[in-house]
Amino acid sequence: MNYKETVDYLYMQTPAYQKVGSSAYKPGLNNSLRLDVCFRHPHQKYKTIHVAGTNGKGSVSHTLAAILQQSGYRVGLYTSPHLIDFRERIRVNGKMISERYVVDFVEEHREIFEPVEPSFFELTMEMAFCYFADEKVDVAVVEVGLGGRLDSTNIISPDLSIITNIGFDHTQYLGDTLAKIAFEKAGIIKPGVPVVIGEATAETRPVFKLKAGQEHAPIIFAEEALAGMKSEKTTEGWLFSTPQYPQLKGELGGYAQTKNARTLLVAIEELKQLNYNISDKAVYDGFARVSELTGLMGRWQVLQTGKPKIVCDTGHNAHGIRYIAEQLKHEQYDRLHIVFGMVNDKDIRAVLELLPKNAVYYFTKASVARALDENKLATEAGEFGLRGTRYATVPEAVAAAQKNADENDFIFIGGSSFVVADALETNKSIQS
């Protein structure tokens, strides 16, 4: 098989939640543990850091990897989902896994993993762990896929656990209250392993404290540990300031990055306590160059700087969209155009009620089975006073927005990682 055939095989033989949703979801660690035995526990050959949370875990994972890389470590990074190329999920020092490794891994080990009948996520996670071992990484930053307690990645024994925040998402699997969701996320807290909590509420804080106490795990609440951090929005991103890191430039421009920055800075101090050698320069470099160093995409990513300005963001639930809606209020434009689509297993109404009514909407559907029909989306949106036109594909919607927008307008593309993926993949010409 060539690379494309191999990726197609992975999707066909090992169902992918990213593509089809609940039918591919396999809660529990049994398959992951069986695979891990088959491949002789590759994740035990290097240090790991585990990152969970409803939102922000991708930004935190990428930035932390960038900082460690700039500190001289050889760093593995495992994240999901990917936007354009499957290989985005598995990187070493920012470089994607090779097509040849993906092909060889599947061809050489099919007899081992096929009897296990793993999900797409379970198998690709094990592929990542094996790749990191083969590449002799010093440390791997591992992002949780869904939840925490029953997530495939929860077989690792990390040096540090990070939980960014808790919001309503995947409630059909994780629970319908913040406390229930926090319980699932807290499942990554391991015996004696320190855990950094990025954001906590009156409902989630007791859950984290109880689990950390049961595991005798030191717990650090970032909002308390770094309460005095200052942040200022600039045309180039964010400018953060703490006693140790004055004038810290953050490349990522989303409003949620203020919370992520605090979480990261507290996590870095914890890693230093664990004898990680992290220089101040590496912190400055990692924050300022995370996209370049790790290939991160889709976080308030500016695709066109003007005439009109075009931005995309992968925020896809009420917790994330709230930040986007607030940020859109502070942008300067004559008219706001929003290319918008969602997947069918989200709380659609909770998102729609947050979106600005003073915008021209282009309701669309991403090219995955989970995508919500654009007609249903438009109908639901109408109940919230959101008006626009319907488009069967993201490229059509983006093209229409570009055609209708004047040079002083603003185009936002989002609602789903898959909408952003389609925009990036099929409209590369709009990137500047």
380-417: pLDDT as tens digits: 999 999 999 999 999 999 999 999 999 999 999 999 99
Same domain for 228 and 157: yes
* 22/343 Cα distance (integer angstroms): 12
Name the residue among 229, 263, 222, 227 with its Cα closest to residue 245.
Answer: 229
Q: Which of 296, 283, 295, 289 is nearest to 71 (CA)?
A: 283
For residue 394, the SS3 value is: helix
Residue 285 token pair? 């470099």
Torsion angle of the four alpha carbons 144, 74, 83, 87, in this order, in degrees rounded to the nearest 10: -100
Q: Which pTM value belongs to this model?
A: 0.92
Are the C-beta atoms of 338 and 355 separated by less than 8 Å? yes
- Residue 69 identity: Q
Q: Which residues contact 256 (CB under 8 A, 6 or more apart)?
A: 55, 56, 59, 315, 320, 323
In this structure, are 231 and 336 located in the same domain? no
Task: Return left, alpha or beta for 156; rule: phi > 0 is left, psi -120 to 50 is alpha, else beta.
Answer: beta
Answer yes or no: do 288 and 423 share one domain.
no
Do 133 and 243 share a domain, yes or no? yes
* Structural domain count, the chain: 2
227 CB neighbour count, 10 Å cutoff: 9
User: What pLDDT is stored for residue 24 in this prediction?
Assistant: 45
Q: Are residues 118 and 232 in the same domain?
A: yes
CATH code for the domain in which residue 328 is found: 3.90.190.20
Tokens found for residue 256:
């949620």
CA–CA distance, 66 with 291 (Å, rounded to integer): 9
CA 128 to CA 156: how far, in whole Å? Answer: 13
- Maximal C-alpha separation, the chain: 59
Q: What is the distance between the alpha carbons of residues 58 and 263, in angstroms, rounded to a whole number?
A: 13
**296 dihedral zone (left: phi>0; alpha: psi -120 to 50; beta):** beta
356 and 253 in a common domain: no
Q: What are the angstrom distances between the C-alpha of 397 and each of 123, 262, 313, 417?
A: 35, 36, 16, 16
Q: Quote the CA–CA distance of 121 and 15 in Å, as a whole number.
A: 8
* 3-state class (DSSP) for residue 39: coil
Last-in-domain residue among 229, 262, 294: 294
pLDDT at 431: 46
Domain boundary among 279, 294, 309: 294
Per-residue pLDDT of the chain (432 residues; tens, 9 = 90+): 999 999 999 988 765 444 444 444 556 799 999 999 999 999 999 999 999 998 899 999 999 999 999 999 999 999 999 999 999 999 999 999 999 999 999 999 999 999 998 989 999 999 999 999 999 999 999 999 988 899 999 999 999 999 999 876 555 657 779 999 999 999 999 999 999 999 999 999 999 999 999 999 999 999 999 998 999 988 778 999 999 999 999 999 888 899 999 999 999 999 999 999 999 999 999 999 999 999 999 999 999 999 999 999 999 889 889 999 999 999 999 999 999 999 988 789 999 999 999 999 999 999 988 899 999 999 999 999 999 999 999 999 999 999 999 999 999 999 999 999 999 987 664 444
The span from the CA of 181 to the CA of 147, in Å, is 8
Taking the C-alpha atoms of residue 238 and residue 252, their distance in angstroms, rounded to an integer, is 7
Work out the burial of residue 281: count CB atoms within 10 Å of its CB; fewer than 13 is exposed, 13-18 middle, 19 or more buried: exposed
- Here the CATH number for the domain that contains residue 47 is 3.40.1190.10
Would you call 313 helix, strand, or coil by DSSP?
strand
The whole-number pLDDT of residue 168 equals 64
- Taking phi over 0 as left and psi of -120 to 50 as alpha, with beta for the rest, 377 belongs to alpha
290 and 314 co-located in one domain: no
**78 near 87, Cβ under 8 Å?**
no
Give the pLDDT confidence score for residue 407 in this predicted structure.
95
Residue-level pLDDT at 254: 83
> Which domain-ending residue is among 260, 294, 328?
294
C-alpha separations of 238 from 154, 288, 337, 405 in Å: 33, 9, 24, 27
List pLDDT tens digits, range 324-343: 999 999 999 999 999 999 99
Is the domain of 285 the same as that of 339?
A: no
Residues facing residue 363 across a β-bridge: 340, 390
Q: Report the percent of the chain where pLDDT is more than 90.
A: 81
Six token digits for residue 306: 């003007």
Residues 70 and 170 in one domain: yes
Residues 270, 340, single domain; the answer is no
231 strand-pairing partners: 240
Do 241 and 309 lie in a common domain?
Answer: no
Which domain covers residue 334, as residue numbers?
A: 301-430
Give the model's pLDDT for residue 26: 56
The set of residues, in sequence order, having a beta carbon less than 8 Å from that of 114 and lying 6+ positions away, is 13
CA pair distance 364, 372, nearest whole angstrom: 8
pLDDT at 253: 84
Q: Specify the pairing of strand 90-92 against strand 75-78.
A: antiparallel
Shared-domain flag, residues 272 and 324: no
Average pLDDT, the chain: 92
**What is the C-alpha to C-alpha distance for residues 208 and 182, in angstroms, rounded to an integer?**
7
CA 249, CA 240: separation in Å to the nearest integer? 6
